[in-house]
Structure 1
Amino acid sequence: MTDRMLTIAHTESSLGWGGQEHRTFKEMVGLRKLGHRLILVCQPKAKFAARAREAGFEVFEVRMRNGVDLPAVLRMQAIFRREQVDVVNTHSGRDSILGGLAGLLACRLVVRTRHLALPITSRFTYTTVPHHVVSVSEHVRRYLMSEGVPEARVSTVYTGIDPAAMQLEAPSTLRAELGIAADAKVVGTVAILRMKKGHRFIVEAADRILAANPDTHFVFAGDGAQMANLTALIASKGLGERIHLLGLRRDIANVLAGCDLFLLPTEQEALGTSYIEAMAMGLPVVGSNVDGVPEVVRDGDNGLLIKPGDADSLATAVNRLLGDDALRQRMAARSRELVSSVFHVDSMCLSMLALYRRLLAQREQR
């Protein structure tokens, strides 16, 4: 079991593309580099399917109409047997029921990964269906144990990124694009424009930050349901020339390289991949003291933690960093160190592979 190639099937019922799918994709890429075969089982027209095919992965499309779709279970069971799958790793609610049951019927190892800090809606898909559960943070692991998942059956594997993929071949073009002076301070936020991400608290705190640091600009990279509300709020406060809404960007490294610090006052976060990407770019990070964020934003080390939903706390933290170049530089260095040692994609993939092998070995011994 130690050396042989594994065939690992990831299932995903979501049609969208977000942090959850991105982590799964990175794991697939990383384990393929280590010599294993990765396949994806997802719904027709899923964005993940297109991304996986572009990267050369085998994709099997199965319609998952609801949580009791028996034909879907039988189709996935057939796929797992025919493709000689060793591990089935499920991710969302619907595929964790259908794909999980299919994996059990096919006598495969079933693992579920929990990506979110939200309350779970079905204990069955954590305590009964999978042989093991992976959490993306210790906060999520502790929560799952409180909901009845035995301690021995849940492990934390932090989401990792590839710092090399965040490197630029040329200086950032962000400031030139927005007409921001080279010596001005730029506070960056990269996140979907969703209420829980807390962008409105940045807008509320902007006047206090500008009073102490008049040359500051804010950039929001991302799109989402709150775009219209944020646009109106920024205009009502007369901040249109200081808060720049960039929309959805593909050049995140270019955006972050043009910033002096990263800020995301989220009200709910299992871990926070955006913080890790900013850390890889050598930025100090400011985040909310909520859920799994303190595992990434280590207060006083690589960044500062603020009270969730508190514009005063946000303004105080940002002003402290903007006013202390030496502190920003020290925290920036620690950000890079933490990505290399804790939040690297290679560490994530090796940890997942070691977990799969350990669980398979345990099953063989029974």
Structure 2
Amino acid sequence: MIKETVTRQATGVKPAILFIGSQMATGGAQRVLLDQAAWFYEHGYHVTAAFLYDQEGVHQVWQEIYPFPLVNLNICPPGGRTNPLRTFSGLPRIYRFLRNHRFDIIETFSHYANLLVLPLAWMASVPVRVGSHHGREANFPNLLNRLHSFIISSSITTCMVAVSQQVSSYAALEENIREDKIIVIPNGIQAADNRLLAPSQPVALRAELGLQPGAHLVCSVGYLTEQKGHRFLLEAIPLVIQKYPGTIFAIAGDGPLLKELKGQAEALNLAGAVIFLGNHSNVADLLSLADIFVLPSLWEGLPIALLEAMGAGVAVVASQVDGVEELIVDNQTGLLVPPSDSQALSQAILRLLEEPEFRVNLGQQGKWLVEKEFNQDQMCNLYRNLFENLLEGRQ
């Protein structure tokens, strides 16, 4: 396969790249994968995107959106849970897929994809095998964590990309991954769509959310799991609406804690103040109305939801964790609060509601930072340079 790669380069044909993640679902890692695949496709590369299974039954919808092949390797039924027997029975199918398509480069996008696919790519003689690390993997068994570290640190993996300096340090110090195998490439997003909404759209959105004239909108976007810390946001709301009645808190996203969080909101008497939107079809429109974005996470890599909010010029309040600190300079590009601290969340939100000029300036500074240092072109050019250098080293 290396000979074929050299032949392609000699004839000016760009490499074939496979981007592969664990599950088809709404999430930051999936967004990075698809955006990166689209960028390389637009720049003339032979691109395929694949996932181990379709968690939310979105394969057909996604394939209609993207012009490159999108493959469901189907090691688990839609909406189901993986099990060891089905996972292992799917490995030969993944190997044949890799062997038959003769990719030059593979990039994996989660601990599970690193663990399962990189050894198969090595066995299938894919020349360049790049893992990635987007932050701590929740409930990842210790045995699998040790195996993952071995796979990344060995010759099975060419290198691993960490999405922030904090993630890189965590991988080296806590997961014992060889430092010389780790390369930091921060996440990046496309420039925010600065088009004006049609006159009817803000009115319709405000009506949908129940926003009264002059009322404030605070939003949060993320998968509803323990990691994302939404319960601390809910605990922070009573103090805010006591001072600013009519403020709406919109939480976009789905996940296993949805029922529990709705129960918590009811117990806190937050009816009318909190709206659970599920997987919202257009987060950009939601951000266009938002006064404040809150990320109450307990840990993060370099969160796409936060990048998108800052890129849209929305003032942000976020937990002082991991890669978040590489995005937010406290009181300059956002407000940082200790994780799991509902009181601090309340006070930060109240400060931004009480100081509109400061809030607007905070949003503008955050937008400038994202456009300058965390844009998609910058991220993908770094990946392109990495891929090309690694391919040249394999000749």
How does the TM-score come out when normalised to structure 2? 0.83
Q: Distance in 2 between matches of 1:239 and 1:60?
A: 42
- C-alpha separation in 1, matches of 2:91 and 2:291: 53
Q: What is the deviation of 1:208?
A: 1.8
Q: Matches of residues 214-293 of structure 1 in structure 2 within 5 Å?
A: 214-293=245-324
Q: Percent identity?
A: 28
Contact 1:221 1:246 in 2 (8 A): yes
Report the Cα distance in structure 1 between the residues aligned to 2:54 and 2:191, rounded to whole angstroms: 31
**Counterpart residue number, 1:145:** 172
- How far did residue 238 of structure 1 move? 2.1
Mapping for residues 1-366 of structure 1, pairs under 5 Å: 4-43=13-52, 45=54, 49-50=59-60, 53-54=63-64, 55-60=66-71, 62=73, 64=75, 65-66=86-87, 71-72=92-93, 74-81=95-102, 85-105=103-123, 106-118=125-137, 121=145, 122-128=148-154, 129-146=156-173, 147-165=175-193, 167-170=195-198, 171-172=201-202, 173-364=204-395
Unaligned runs of 5+ in 2: 1-8, 76-85
| Secondary structure of 2:266 counterpart | helix
CA distance in 1, matches of 2:217, 2:90: 50
The letter of the residue matching 1:12 is: G
The one-letter code matched in structure 2 to 1:347 is Q
Q: Deviations over 1:149-186 (max 9, x none)?
A: 33332112222221245755325333222332231222
Tell me the distance in 1 between the aligned counterparts of 2:53 and 2:357.
52
Compared with structure 1, are the counterparts of its residues 235 and 133 closer, same or farther at alpha carbon in structure 2 (3 Å cutoff)? same
- Output the CA distance in 1 between the equivalents of 2:54 and 2:227: 28
Q: Cα 1:95–1:117, aligned 2, differ >3 Å: closer, same or farther?
A: closer
Cα deviation, 1:17-60, whole Å, max 9, x if unaligned, reads: 42212210100001111111111344465657435532121245
Alpha-carbon distance change, 156 to 231 in structure 1, aligned in 2, over 3 angstroms: same
Count of aligned pairs between the two proteins? 361
Q: State the secondary structure of the residue aligned to 1:250.
A: coil
Partners of 2:94 and 2:210 in 1: how far apart?
55
Q: Which amino acid in the other structure matches residue 260 of structure 1?
A: D
SS in 1 for 2:23: coil
> C-alpha displacement at 1:136, in angstroms?
1.4
The amino acid across from 2:63 in the alignment is: R
User: 1:40, 1:52 within 8 Å by CA — same for their partners in 2?
Assistant: no
Given the superposition, is the C-alpha separation of residues 289 and 38 from structure 1 closer, same or farther in structure 2, using an over 3 Å criterion? Answer: same
Cα shift at 1:284: 0.9
Aligned CA RMSD, in angstroms, stands at 2.5
Deviation at 1:107, TM superposition (A): 4.5
Cα distance, 1:118–1:28 mapped onto 2, change above 3 Å: same
After TM superposition, the structure 1 stretch with the greater mean CA deviation from structure 2, 260-269 or 91-100, is 91-100
